[in-house]
Amino acid sequence: MNLQQFFMSLEALPISNFIRSSAWIGAMINVAHIICLVLLFGSVLIVDLRLLGGGLTRQPVAQVAREARPWMIAALIAMALTGIPQVLSTAMKQYYSPFFWQKMEFLLVAVIYTFTLKWRITMADEARVGRFWSALVALGSIALWTGAAINARMIGLLS
Amino acid sequence: MFGLRPWFEWVDAFPSSVALRESLYGYPALLTAHVLSMCLFAGLVVMMDLRLVGIGNLKTPISQIQKRLFPWQMVGMVGSAITGGLLFWGQPMRYYGKALYWTKIILMILAGINALYFHLTTYKSVKAWDSDPVPPPAARWAGYLGLFLWASVVAFGRLTAYDWFTYR
């Protein structure tokens, strides 16, 4: 089975047919997905702003990152739970959309980046990391998550 | 609606309005910018409300979250307002009879009133409970209400894309 056939089989699943059976079901899942996106951006940006030298500047970076982390993980899990049904119900549209694949690439890199490099930078001694590298890591994080969100939006608008 | 239809039709006929809605990439670009600025604004508001409710950012004093995130929330709000205004300018007749869109606007006003009321009343005594992990009930209720109202604004904003409850 190649990738195209795999996506065709996803679209033919009973759950996919169920989601497509009413516009309301898909819309409600999409609404939940967007609300989770807001939570995700809030938990990511509160840390990125701190790394950029703004936001909660009286709190140590590590504290801001530790407090935001559970919300970021919760948002990511919820986004996956609401994103997968959307992909299932419109699998062929996603398959043929270059934006879907770009979104997945951005998402993968953003997740790896957030849980490796960015996490290490936030946990490291602030004086040792320095403002330049902190800001650079924050800008990288913003660029990756924004890239994923822009491509996600484009699936619906330009595919 | 309240005799406003001629005004909406007047804007609809503006060359800039026509150019915006007929632009192949302008409209998607605006819509995407609206979503991103909304994520900045509402995302940071949610971070503040989670602290008010007493379930998030508990080691950070409430006054710090309020003061330090406020300028960034305003950047997001201004961005959302500008892009939202342009989206409306491009398709006024699309939004004119849309109950879901007007519900979103009413919810935004209610969310603003909730924030203002909190600042003018409960927040005045913040020094007394600034670092408490669980703030007083009035602050928690403002947080719960803020979370509910902004989530509803986002939800109704997304549902505006559908033609449900649209009256011509």
List, for residues B45-76, the tens digit of each pLDDT value: 999 999 999 999 999 999 999 999 999 999 99
Q: Which 3 state secondary structure label does DSSP give B98?
A: strand
Model pLDDT for residues B8-44, shown as the tens digit of each residue: 999 999 999 999 999 988 989 999 999 999 999 999 9
Q: What is the pLDDT of residue B2?
A: 64
Q: Which of A25, A34, A150 to mutate to test the interface with B (most CBs of B within 10 A)?
A: A34
Token couple for A35:
């609300």
* Cβ neighbours of B76 in A, within 8 Å: none
* Angle of CA points A138, A101, A104, to nearest 5°: 40
Taking an 8 Å cut-off on Cβ atoms, the answer to whether A45 and B44 are in contact is yes
Chain B CB contacts of A40 below 8 Å:
43
Chain A residues near residue B53 by CB distance under 8 angstroms: none
Say yes or no: ipTM exceeds 0.85: yes
Q: Encoding tokens for residue B133?
A: 């992990």
Interface of A with B in 102-141 (CB under 8 A): none
Q: For chains A and B, what is the number of CB pairs under 8 angstroms?
A: 100
- Give chain A as a 3 state SS string: CCHHHHHHHHHCCHHHHHHHCCHHHHHHHHHHHHHHHHHHHHHHHHHHHHHCCCCCCCCCHHHHHHHHHHHHHHHHHHHHHHHHHHHHHCHHHHHHCHHHHHHHHHHHHHHHHHHHHHHHHHHCCHHHHHHHHHHHHHHHHHHHHHHHHHHHHHHHHHC
Measure in Å the smallest separation between the Cα of A2 and chain B Cα atoms: 32
Taking CB atoms and an 8 Å limit, are A37 and B155 in contact across chains?
no
Using a CB-CB cut-off of 8 Å, the residues of chain A touching B77 are: none
What is the phi/psi pair of residue B166, to 5°?
Answer: -110, 130
Task: Using the predicted structure, report yes or no on whether residue A24 has a pLDDT greater than 80.
Answer: yes
DSSP tag of B39: H
- What residues have CB less than 8 Å from B61, skipping those under 6 apart? B130, B131
pLDDT exceeds 70 at position A39: yes
DSSP B101-114: HHHHHHHHHHHHHH
Q: What pLDDT digit, counting tens, does each position of B142-167 carry?
A: 999 999 999 999 999 999 999 999 98
Write down the pTM of the prediction: 0.95
